[in-house]
Every structure is written in structure tokens, then in C-alpha cells.
Amino acid sequence: MSFLIITGLSGAGKSTALNFLEDKGYFCVDNLPPVLLDKFAELCARSDMQRIAVVIDIRGGKFFDDFFQQLTILKKNGISYEIIFLEASDRTIISRYKETRRRHPLAEEGRILEAIQKERELLEELKGQAGRIIDTSHIDVKGLKQELQDLYDFQRDEKKNLSIDITSFGFKYGIPLDADIVFDVRFLPNPYYVDFLKGKTGREQDVIDYIEKWPITEEFFQRLFSFIEFLLPEYHKEGKSHLGIAIGCTGGQHRSVFTVDKLKDFLEKKEFLVRSEHRDIDK
């Protein structure tokens, strides 16, 4: 079981790290009271959960004092864990709080700089127990995700961590609102204008044979497959866990259906997680 405890300074990027880990398949809990840590870890172990990440920090208030006792209990119970400590410079944290207009949890009455310094003192001992310390002073959201990507070698699970939905549709009925990428295949030869194909769909062999016989179809798919194969790793590097691809023709019954099925078959052979839908096939 991979059990990650994310902690560190407020404004250093803990929420970003947790969101990234959630996208990578971790079961994540934010602001877990430290007093519940051992019970929570025990429950996860019983549930046979493989990837867990929790954020524990000074938002726990007086309960934060129980943190070290809880870590001792985890060790006694044989539960392995790793602490990731995020920090940043005073200037960086102040700047981030000004941008978000949020209040530092320790700045109820004093200045934010005093709150940051107090938090550093409270977390100093915990920082010494961290397995990994990441300074986010000079990296943005993308940089922090890449740092975690490199540390935990998520690249090896790229195809499992990126799910792809492919939808065929008809432009006459509107473009799917949740699409990240839209392809227009209305340039392909249209079976609709062939009498004995008009009432069939792009899933039937007569229609497939008709579309495939044209040279432009073969050239299009060579370019499409190459383009998609280039794009997917780039989306994954950006931390994207889901990609929606919409492919449209005029009515959503012939060319788009045919193209979605071809693309799905190609991606499944590449071992990506793919789901397809033919939105307008029956209209």
C-alpha cells in the first residue's frame, strides 16, 4: 500500500499536489484531523486500498499536536508511510495569498509574515521527518505536477491514467459540450447520397467498404493516428486524466460513426483506456 502524507506550509501547493495524486488514482482526503490518522490508515488497509494520500497541516488546530503520536502508532501497526513536505519562501507565500485573497490560517490577528514564521516554527520538527521536501518557490502548478510525476514515475502508468472518451455526432444537432478536441470528417465521401447506403450506419460493412475505398480515407487515417499518438503523451504531461474527442459529420450516422470505431480500435491496440459513444446514430 502506498500511503502518502502531504504536509507543509500554507500556500506551498498542498492542494495542487493532492489534486494531482487524485487524478493518478489515489484515494485522497484533505485536512484530515491528525487524531484520526491511525484509524483511517487501518481502515484503508482493511479495504485493500493500494493508493492513499492525505493532507494534514496546521488547519487541524490543537489536534495537530497529536500528529507525532499518530505517526508512532502507524509504525507500531506496521503501516508504511511517506511524508511529503511542501515549502516556499516567505515572499512567494505572501504573493500567493495576495493573489487568492485568502486568509492564512494563523493570521487571525497578526500580520501574514508573522503567521508564516510561526507556522515554520511549528512545522520544523515535522519537516525533519519528511521523506521528500519540495520547494515550490520557483515552480508553478505545472512544475509541481511534473516534480511529482518524476518522483513517483507515473509515466509508466500513462495509458492507465489517461481515459479517453470518443463520441460521434452530427453537426446538425450541435457539437458535444464536453469535447476537448473536435474533428470534422464531412470532407470524406458521404454514403448518404448512395441509395442503398442511405438508411444504414457507419457500423455496417457496406458503409465501411464504401468509405474505405477512397484514397483520401487512407491518407486521413494515417495522419489522424499519427496526430493522436503525438497528442496523448503531451496531454498526460500536463496532468490531464481524461480526454474527450468528438468526431462529427453532417447527421452523425455514417462517416463520424465509422471514424470513431476506427480510432477506438487503434487506441485499444495501443492499450489506452477508451470508451466510445455514437450520440446521433439513431436520429
Q: Which domains does the chain have, with CATH numbers?
A: 2-152 (3.40.50.300), 159-278 (no CATH)
* Confidence band for 30, pLDDT divided at 50, 70 and 90: very high
Residue 143 has a pLDDT of 86
Is the pLDDT confidence value at 62 over 70? no
* Confidence band for 98, pLDDT divided at 50, 70 and 90: confident
Question: Coil, helix or strand for 85?
Answer: strand
Is the pLDDT confidence value at 283 over 90? no
Residue 160 has a pLDDT of 57
Cα–Cα distance between 174 and 280 in angstroms, integer?
10
Note the helical H segments in the chain.
14-23, 37-46, 67-76, 90-100, 112-129, 141-152, 158-161, 205-212, 215-237, 255-269
Residues 112-121 have a mean pLDDT of 88
Residue 153 has a pLDDT of 59
Residue 132 has a pLDDT of 87
